[in-house]
Chain A
């Protein structure tokens, strides 16, 4: 095995594009198995100490322009993708419910959406491995899964969580401390160092300054590098070199003001639900199914807000410290799947823009609500979205600095999403009334980018197979939220990390079989 750094002429076993939840775990896995791996990251590298506890100054988001269309345009920027070594795990909320078994068989059980070609038990085994490697804090007993255990005790609830617990109890809804991908005690992370216990600072979305939160740059990537992988930052992938059989022989990327290429035997495209399909569409590759960019799904992320007599100061503490899974299959709701409810703590700029956009406010009401920031608290959902032909990612005629056409994402709610939105507004409003909130109102919102390179059983309907391998290009693998066949109600990052380990195992098994 040759050691990093690898020369461009060297034929490395794998190039991984993107170092977030999709790319990092498999980079670690492949390197551990002795493969030569180069991971390319568009953003720069950060130390935890570089992060800034300010909403406008935080610089860990993918801020290149995306065009958002449809009847319910979804917001990008700080709301979704990340940029930097670690990808979106730099800014993610660390809220990490596990995928529900019913959500993986949505089509079989409801006739709608799609099934996953992966057994739930197999996925959960990987989820548990991710949880063990990264360290998750959560309740001693998880009401919706008696066998589940978390390594660390939960972080303290904040005022929003206490209010939600109060409201849920009054309504007969079960709620508990949320599983959070952060450590509530100091932890020595192998090959990285000490991750300090969460200090309840509330700035997860601006980047964790003491590495309490699970982020790829303080977990899987240092493991990968210790096992011989190389991570190249500020390396923006432009195109692939193909041989006469259509297999990829090298990755062309922009770095340090010049075009470079890395020869390789396989490519893992892990750039996220927007950039992965966008790259393939720009290059006209891996799309004989016509499915690249289709099936775009964003979670219904409706929020309900209110004002409390008490001083809440919701910026304090882990933002999403309470969860209920009671609405995973709400009766009479008229939706295929269901939704999770979480307590919310958001910082002022986030709240302000949500009020101005999602609640359509301005004037005296807007300003007086913002002045009462310290008295406000909210709850929100993550609701399962179904694919729809109208909801897709296409290419705009406008190009970016690298000559690639920008992504245009059209997104509109349909019956299922409207049903979830309607039902959740009623439930959350009732919870908030029971909790003692006043001046209650709702905010329209959607979040996450899912499904644009769907995984499936055949190349007519899907972009990758059950292993995550392209039907068209034998040495191209995709691993991020783009391959999700259905959206799941659970927030995607934990599942992406689990899929990443599985993708590596499937790749290694296939290589072994071929060698034998």
Chain B
């Protein structure tokens, strides 16, 4: 399994150094902490607007060829992380490796809720040039639940003071007010949204109101004993949450060589988007199956494809396809509509076998053999299927399960399939220059076994 790396983005008036404490607790996970233009080591670069900062981050991901990474953005950096995650989810070249997002007291895609007096006050701090020591102290102290211990407080104050005036003003007067909601839309990448329990404008309520709606696969966590500067205030608690998110999304990370091809310009945006969408978790199917039906379906997966480890996950994809999908354009005339056929088929399997899930593997296999031979079924009432119908339904079951499995990018990676990497978006389309057996081109991946 590929271990995703972490890409940290700091807040206004901070730098990569704000993550030192958090990263100390995550030293076993690869990570980089960036300075955004105008801050930290890059103070001299002046103001970059939101779009330019997002380009800067996207460029960094490409330059480093990150094939599995999680964007961790604090406050201002959270808005940048969300924008880049949205671009990744929409299939942009080179960003196929973005597998997770962590927002820490993050500024949302909408204009940031900020008290206008406070905004004016902060703008006033740079009226005469650089931010003075007293103002920097005010900033740090106002954003923490309790005063930071030294030397952390001194470090935070120093970072505020080495922000460029243009960057400081640019964010307060423009960047934080820019409305990116429509551009961001819904981002299918799994997200962890962290709020400080004592934060003001960007606390949990604001996170739920302004960031959560953009992430269909997200959970919100509140950190006690923290206001807005969570990475300074509660580095260990934040590190624990980040570690859990890394573990949660690691299973969706694809082998590096595969992601390198998927992210390349050989792949069209539409194809990349469709494939990446399939790496995301399946949300609960609203009009789906009962828990008992799900359990039987998962057992069916285990028989159709014995090597699949995440039977429940694949069964969930089948459940979604059967109950919400468009269908595949036809069905057996002898069967009712797909959703009903599945419900009745599962019920029949359970009835004839006397409780399918409780049986041992061989007994289950024996029932499936009998069903395939037309020897397993009930009377064709409104809740069950006849033996002849079960033969057809079991064919549908096999086809749908295997279809969902083969279409997973992880499966493509495992079988060494690279046929999606053709016909990119450029004026001349990529294909294969070698088509004979054993003659493989250099760009093609080597076979990788699935973890």
Any B CB within 8 A of the CB of A51? yes
Q: Indicate if A430 sits at the interface (CB-CB under 8 A).
A: no
CB of A63 within 8 A of CB of B327, answer yes
Chain A positions within 8 Å of B436 at CB level: 156-159, 162
* Residue B281 at the chain A interface, CB threshold 8 Å: no
B residues less than 8 Å from A313 (CB atoms) = 437, 440
A202-B432 contact given A210-B423, A360-B372, CB 8 Å threshold: yes
B415 adjacent to chain A (CB < 8 Å): yes
Partner of B334, one of A69, A310, A360: A69
Q: Once bound together, how far apart are the Cα atoms of A73 and B402, in whole Å?
A: 20
One digit per residue, 1 when the CB lies within 8 angstroms of any chain A CB and 0 when it does not, for chain B 428-451 equals 111111111110100000010000
With both chains docked as a complex, state the minimum distance between the C-beta of A288 and any C-beta of chain B, in angstroms.
Answer: 27
Docked complex Cα distance between A26 and B303 (Å): 52
Please report which residues of chain B, range 15-68, place their CB below 8 angstroms from some CB of chain A when the two chains form the complex: none
Stretch at the interface among B136-144, B209-217, B268-276: B268-276
Question: Closest Cβ of chain A: how far from B423's Cβ, in Å?
Answer: 4
**Contact indicator B429/A210 (Cβ below 8 Å):** yes
Interface of A is mostly: loop
B331 touches A311 (CB 8 A): no
Contact bitstring B389-421, A, C-beta under 8 A = 1, else 0: 000000100110111011100011011110110
Question: Is there a chain A Cβ closer than 8 Å to B130's Cβ?
Answer: no
Chain A CB within 8 A of B422 CB: yes
CB <8 Å contact, A200 and B432: yes
Q: Which of B271, B407, B415, B422 contacts A199 (CB 8 A)?
A: B422
- Contact between chains at B331 and A203 (CB < 8 Å): no
Q: How many residues of B contact A (CB 8 A)?
A: 58
**Selected contact of B432 from candidates A63, A199, A353, CB within 8 Å:** A199
Q: Is the CB of A65 within 8 A of B422?
A: no
Contact status A67-B333, CB under 8 Å: yes
A54 touches B271 (CB 8 A): yes
In whole angstroms, what is the CA distance A308 to B437 when docked?
A: 10
The contact of B328 among A67, A78, A156, by CB within 8 Å, is: A78
Task: List the B side residues contacting A371 at CB < 8 Å.
Answer: 414-415
Q: Tell whether A410 is near chain B: CB-to-CB under 8 Å.
A: yes
Q: Which residues on the B side are within 8 Å of A402 (C-beta)?
A: none
Interface string of B270-286 (1 = CB under 8 A from A): 11001100100000000
Q: Mark B100-112, 1 if CB is under 8 A from A, else 0.
A: 0000000000000
Asked if B306 contacts A199 (CB within 8 A), the reply is no
Q: Mark A312-356, 1 if CB is under 8 A from B, else 0.
A: 110111000000000000000000000000000001110111011
**Given A210-B423, A210-B429 in contact, is the A65-B398 Cβ separation under 8 Å?**
no
CB pair B331 A67 closer than 8 Å? yes
For residue B295, which residues in chain A have a CB less than 8 angstroms away from its CB? none
On whether A54 and B303 interact (CB within 8 A), knowing A349-B406, A374-B415, the answer reads no
Q: Are the C-beta atoms of A356 and B395 separated by less than 8 Å?
A: yes
Chain A min CB distance to B286 (Å): 21
In contact, B431 and A356 (Cβ under 8 angstroms): no
Closest to A64 in B: B329
Asked whether A68 is an interface residue with its Cβ less than 8 Å from the other chain, the reply is yes
Chain B CB within 8 A of A432 CB: no
Q: B145: CB under 8 A from chain A?
A: no
A516 on the B face (CB < 8 A): no
Q: Is A76 an interface residue (CB 8 A)?
A: yes
B271 CB contacts on chain A under 8 angstroms: 52-54, 57
Flag if B332 contacts A52 (CB, 8 Å). Answer: no
Which residue of A64, A196, A396 is within 8 Å of B429 (Cβ)?
Answer: A196
How far is A367 from B337 in the complex, measured between Cα atoms in Å? 28
A68-B332, A76-B330 in contact; A353/B403 too (CB < 8 A)? yes
Pair B437/A159 contact, Cβ less than 8 Å: yes
Chain A positions 177-223 with a Cβ under 8 Å from a chain B Cβ: 196, 198-203, 209-210
Asked if A363 is at the interface of the complex by the 8 Å CB criterion, the answer is yes
Cβ-based interface call for B380 (8 A): no
List B contacts of A310 (CB < 8 A): 437-438
Docked CA distance A162–B435 (Å): 10
B403 with A349: CB separation less than 8 A? yes
Residues on B with beta carbons closer than 8 Å to the beta carbon of A56: 274, 278, 403, 407
Q: Cβ of B205 < 8 Å from any Cβ of A? A: no
Task: Say yes or no: A317 contacts B435, CB within 8 Å.
Answer: yes
Q: Knowing A56-B274, A202-B431, A310-B437, say if A366 contacts B304 (CB, 8 Å).
A: yes
Residues of chain A contacted by B432 (CB below 8 angstroms):
199-202, 316-317
Q: Measured between alpha carbons, how far is A19 from B178 in the docked complex, in Å?
A: 46
Distance of A396 Cα from B331 Cα, bound (Å) = 12
Cβ of A408 within 8 Å of any chain B Cβ, yes or no, is yes
Which chain A residue shows the least CB distance to B326? A63
Answer yes or no: B292 CB below 8 A from chain A CBs.
no
Q: Which residues of B contact A77 (CB under 8 A)?
A: 327-330
Closest Cβ of chain A to B338, distance in Å, is 9
- From residue 23 to 55 of chain A, which have CB atoms closer than 8 A to chain B? 49-55
Q: What's the Cα separation between A15 and B329 when bound, in Å? A: 27
Q: Cβ of A357 and Cβ of B395 under 8 Å apart?
A: yes
* Complex contacts, B402 vs chain A, CB 8 Å: 352-353, 355-356, 362, 366, 370
| A268 interface residue per 8 A CB criterion | no
* Cα–Cα distance between A68 and B431 once the two chains are bound (Å): 36
A199 to B425, CA, bound (A): 14
Interface: A171 (CB within 8 A): no
Q: Are A53 and B423 in contact (CB under 8 A)?
A: yes
**Is B435 a contact of A200 with CB atoms below 8 Å?**
yes
Instruction: Write the chain A residue with the least CB distance to B307.
Output: A367
Interface membership of A361, Cβ < 8 A? yes
0 or 1 for each of A63-84: is its CB under 8 Å from B? (1 = yes)? 1111111000101111111000
| Contact across chains for B428 and A196 when beta carbons are under 8 A apart | yes
Q: Does A484 contact B (CB under 8 A)?
A: no
Interchain nearest-CB distance for B438 vs A (Å):
5
Offer 6 A-B interface pairs, CB within 8 angstroms, sorted by A.
Answer: A52-B274, A65-B337, A68-B332, A81-B329, A313-B437, A348-B419
Beyond the given A317-B435, A357-B399, please list 20 additional residue pairs across the A-B interface where CB-CB is below 8 A. Answer: A52-B274, A53-B271, A54-B275, A54-B407, A62-B329, A63-B328, A64-B329, A65-B330, A67-B333, A80-B329, A157-B436, A162-B436, A202-B432, A203-B419, A209-B422, A310-B437, A349-B406, A353-B399, A363-B304, A373-B416
Closest 7 CB pairs of A and B: A77-B329, A199-B431, A69-B333, A317-B435, A201-B422, A57-B274, A201-B431
